[in-house]
Structure 1
Amino acid sequence: MFQGKSFLKEIDFTKDELVYLIDFAIHLKKLKQAKISHQYLAGKNIALLFEKTSTRTRAAFTVAANDLGAQPEFLGQNDVQFGKKESTADTAKVLGAMFDGIQFRGFKQNDVESLAQNAGVPVWNGLTDTWHPTQMLADFMTIKEVFGDYVGKNLVYIGDGRNNMANSLLVTSAILGVNVTIIAPNDLQPELEIQKIAHEKATLTGAVLTITDDTSAVKGADVIYTDVWVSMGEEDKYDERVQKLLPYQVNAALFAKTENENCIFMHCLPAFHDLNTRTMAEIHEKYDLTELEVTDEIFKSVKSVVFQEAENRLHTIKAVMAATLGNLFIPKV
């Protein structure tokens, strides 16, 4: 079912399979909280291949591997010849011969796909410019923990709608039967190909999909979700993004438009909600802004579940690793 399979993007999996991974993660979280050993990967070696910097992804994969009894090895962009003096395919064959599983966090989706095609071991996508599948498991696990279920809930993503988070939230919501709205300026909305995939998945679950530039579409939201306005590798776009996306900031006025006092706030992090980072200090000096995609008031409010969501990266990543590499008995999904 899962054994030996890579985890590259959400659309490679059925609804039942994604549901299984989310529920398995909830189970593994309970085991960890109860300090019950679950070393399904004892004796395994895991390569953690990073082109992009990371806090949550690196920490989650490292701790997940340790909890499962495996030995993780971090390989940064300056540690290997990946993409410089050695092809992706050649790198995959070398690492696949030495490691039992490979995590990749980088830029091109084609690279993680090539790794999976050539490594001969499971490859897990920690993030690419197109998809962020491990984040999705953590997000919908969090929604289920808060509300008891995610099916039929109304998720609204607002901000830069053509990045990996918007793509993944749109498609995964459609697969799981979650109503999803993407609110973004017209030129920052998901590509038509991504929208087509989402609509095809929604026909199977009845999920309602909406893509608009109108912020009033937050009405009835159970979840307000946003992300940074400038993704890694786009640092030269702050001028245009700040001007274009300030009307899409998540703040108290936007939350009031939901007309739902139980609406929660989610963010994959890091978030620019105060001046306590060097990047925000530079933005403040240039644009005289103290907050970007979300205000500090909302970020620190009782509505915010961002740190519960961040912790759940660990448990969901652990579920993926165990299911694809742990020889688990899964009779039917």
Structure 2
Amino acid sequence: MNVPVKIVTNGMKIPTIGLGTWQATSETEIESALNTALECGYRHIDTAYAYQNEEIIGRVLKNWFTSGKLKREEVFITTKLPIFGVHEDRVEMFMDRSLKNLGLKYVDIYLIHFPIGSNFVENGEVPLNQLIPERTDHIEIWKKMEEQVDAGKAKFIGVSNFNERQIEKIWNNCRIKPACQQIELQVFLQQPKLVNYCHEKNIAVVAYSPLASPKYNNFMADLGVEIKDLPNVFTNPIIREVAEKHKKTNAQIALRYLIDMGTIPIPKSVSPLRIRENFEVFDFSLDADDMKKLKNLDLGEPGRICDCNFLKRFEDHPEWPFPKSNQ
């Protein structure tokens, strides 16, 4: 099926659902997931240098391109400048590394993954929870992002995990406007003020962890960080009630809600069944009563799953984008 697209700042056309790939590093799983997604009709793939899966994704895409089953211009590819690349002297280097990994001449959009840069050790792997924050100048970094568009390496540029103040600063001091803001967005964390701000500026809002990241605690445990209780999309009775009404799954209701909010969910899964189910959200619609029930699930900040708690030493940085954990 043809996926609806959203047209935003600078004329960017972005499919209204995508495949997320965070926490997907097994070559076999990623190949299977991506092949299933492309066969279903997904035409929006989200990755990042930090996910360490760009090369695998690139190989799958190459197979589809060389076989003639897919043209490069038919798929929207997102990747991101890693936290240790958030410095004006490293933007081009990491842009080039991502393109090499992906085997592409350009990506559709290149995002600044996080608003604070960290130390970088060439040929050295620094664990996320041991990164050290550095001076971060968004204006100078954005100029380098603009240069990637000028060079044809990215069609559009944007941000991720930025707050309203940070976007506004870039917006008022840039030549090429941010086309996208990627943030955690799910029924328990709906961030209406930030979403409305972006929509007023015609910036696409892409929702990562749209199903409240049920495996987030696995990631945190690997970093040695305390595990917390998480709200659950799959067992929530209100979502289940709406799902039964429409003969859909809880996940499909949660995703459809985000689409009806005007945002773009990128659910991650390596299960062929779930990948297909997540895509089957365009054959029904939610009514006003459904929307009200789901809107009332918003917990605000207590509903945030991906609070970047593993970056504790970053909280005192002036560009920390979230409320501090002690507030």
Q: Same fold (TM over 0.5)?
A: no
Query: Please, what TM-score do these two structures have when normalized by structure 2?
Result: 0.28
The structure with more helix, counted as a fraction of residues: 1
Query: Please, what TM-score do these two structures have when normalized by structure 1?
Result: 0.28
